[in-house]
Amino acid sequence: MLDKINKLIAEISGFSVLSPDDLELFRLKFLSKKGYISELFDDFRNVASDEKKELGQKLNQLKQQAQERYNYLKDSLIQTQKTSRINDITRPAYPWNLGSRHPISIMRNDIISIFERIGFTVSEGPEIEDDDHVFTKLNFAPEHPARDMQDTFYISRLSTEDSDPRDILLRTHTSSVQVRVMQAQKPPIRTISPGRVFRNEAISARAHCIFHQVEGLYIDENVSFADLRQTLLFFAREMFGKKTEIRLRPSYFPFTEPSAEMDVSCTICGGKGCNVCKYTGWLEVLGCGMVHPAVLEACNIDSNKYTGFAFGMGIERPAMLKYQVNDLRLYFENDIRFLEQFRTAF
């Protein structure tokens, strides 16, 4: 046994660690209940009485030395890790500049938060979609101009003249997510669908080929246009302030009937007129309407029993109102001078 003790003392003294795994190996090998030192203490019971005093002292010395060596290796490893972090030449120089959320992300989260407070859930879906979910089930006629190549980014199309449910394209609105929700769930349905959409449009201060939307859908028994108006008024005043006014103008969308455009009083000019509101004092922020019965039936929902409303808004335009940004292109240029203004806007 004395030879084993001396060998372990030598092994412990020469043990080195380069990682936390090595340190754990040392503990398991020498200090754990199934380690070498515990085994020696178990064998100590069988030692002759006249040898116990000397071997007992050696065993205690071995255990103490192993614990001290473990503590030393642990402290050395911690110090090495601290030093390696300090000397990391790839780290940014101090003081470190804090980043910020993008204004579109801030606005998206604000919109979601407002509708979640009145019972809406969040639904998401694929950006690459098929014609059936983007157009057909939303009551778009085969000859509708939205299907044209100059309005929609097609990935693959079976025919450039006729629409086909198997055509693959970049979604032009997040209404395709609402179709998927209606197919998968039974009413009542109350959901919003945030996401990025794509349209072949000229880029300007008021439009872009890539933008973000949040669309809402509420389907249940006895849902009315009055429910829609009060929901949107609540949203507008929560988002833009208690004094915000809205107006609903008759419009047309294939998937809603009746349909309307909603304007809010321009917060940039206070209703006096500016280049953003085209000097009208109003800014269009979303489209809305009662869900068309044909859409409900296409998604296997009984239109005689259920009614519902839907709305959809771009995120960029409300963000222009809230943060008084007069050029939509700023959101996509990654100009640090612009983004730094939102550093504290969490």
Same-domain check for residues 42 and 187: no
Q: Give the integer Cα–Cα distance in Å for 330 and 211.
A: 12
Same-domain check for residues 112 and 25: no
Q: Tell me, yes or no, whether 185 lies in a domain.
A: yes
Same-domain check for residues 34 and 131: no
Residue pair 151/172 in contact (Cβ under 8 Å)? The answer is yes
What's residue 273's pLDDT? Answer: 76
Q: Which residues contact 346 (CB under 8 A, 6 or more apart)?
A: 100, 101, 106
Q: CB neighbours (10 Å) of residue 52?
A: 13
Domain limit, last residue, from 86, 119, 147 = 86
Question: What CATH number does the domain containing 286 carry?
Answer: 3.30.930.10
Same-domain check for residues 271 and 246: yes
Q: Domain span at residue 13?
A: 2-86
What's residue 150's pLDDT? Answer: 67
- Residue 266, phi then psi, degrees to nearest 5: -70, 120
Exposure of 115 by Cβ count < 10 A (0-12 exposed, 13-18 middle, 19+ buried)? Answer: buried
> What is the total residue count of the chain?
346
Q: Give the integer Cα–Cα distance in Å for 135 and 164.
A: 10
Q: Tell me, yes or no, whether 92 lies in a domain.
A: no
Q: Tell me, yes or no, whether 11 lies in a domain.
A: yes
Same-domain check for residues 48 and 15: yes
Look up tokens 């101090």; give the residue.
94
Q: Give the integer Cα–Cα distance in Å for 346 and 334.
A: 18
Number of folded domains that form the chain: 2
What's residue 60's pLDDT? Answer: 81
Same-domain check for residues 30 and 122: no
Helix and strand totals (H; E) in the chain: 11, 10
Q: Give the integer Cα–Cα distance in Å for 211 and 3.
A: 77
Q: Give the integer Cα–Cα distance in Å for 173 and 101.
A: 24
Residues of the chain under the 50 pLDDT cut: 345-346
Which stretch of DSSP H or E encloses residue 284?
strand 282-291
Q: Tell me, yes or no, whether 139 lies in a domain.
A: yes
Same-domain check for residues 63 and 144: no
What's residue 163's pLDDT? Answer: 64
Q: Tell me, yes or no, whether 93 lies in a domain.
A: no
Q: CB neighbours (10 Å) of residue 208?
A: 19
Domain limit, last residue, from 61, 86, 111 = 86
Q: Tell me, yes or no, whether 256 lies in a domain.
A: yes
Q: CB neighbours (10 Å) of residue 212?
A: 21
Residue pair 290/257 in contact (Cβ under 8 Å)? The answer is yes
- pTM of structure: 0.66
Q: 258-292 as b/e, with b when 16 or more CB fall inside 10 Å?
A: ebbbbbbbbbbbeeeebebbeeebbbbbbbbbbbb
What's residue 344's pLDDT? Answer: 61
Same-domain check for residues 206 and 318: yes
Q: Tell me, yes or no, whether 28 lies in a domain.
A: yes
What's residue 240's pLDDT? Answer: 84
Q: Tell me, yes or no, whether 97 lies in a domain.
A: no
Same-domain check for residues 44 and 143: no
Same-domain check for residues 283 and 158: yes
Domain limit, last residue, from 32, 61, 86 = 86
Look up tokens 């997510």; give the residue.
177
Q: Give the integer Cα–Cα distance in Å for 89 and 275.
A: 48
Q: CB neighbours (10 Å) of residue 161?
A: 7
What's residue 346's pLDDT? Answer: 45
Q: Give the integer Cα–Cα distance in Å for 49 and 52.
A: 5
- Note the pLDDT tens digit of each residue in 13-30: 888 888 888 888 888 888
- Note the pLDDT tens digit of each residue in 310-340: 999 988 877 887 787 888 888 888 888 888 8
What's residue 345's pLDDT? Answer: 45
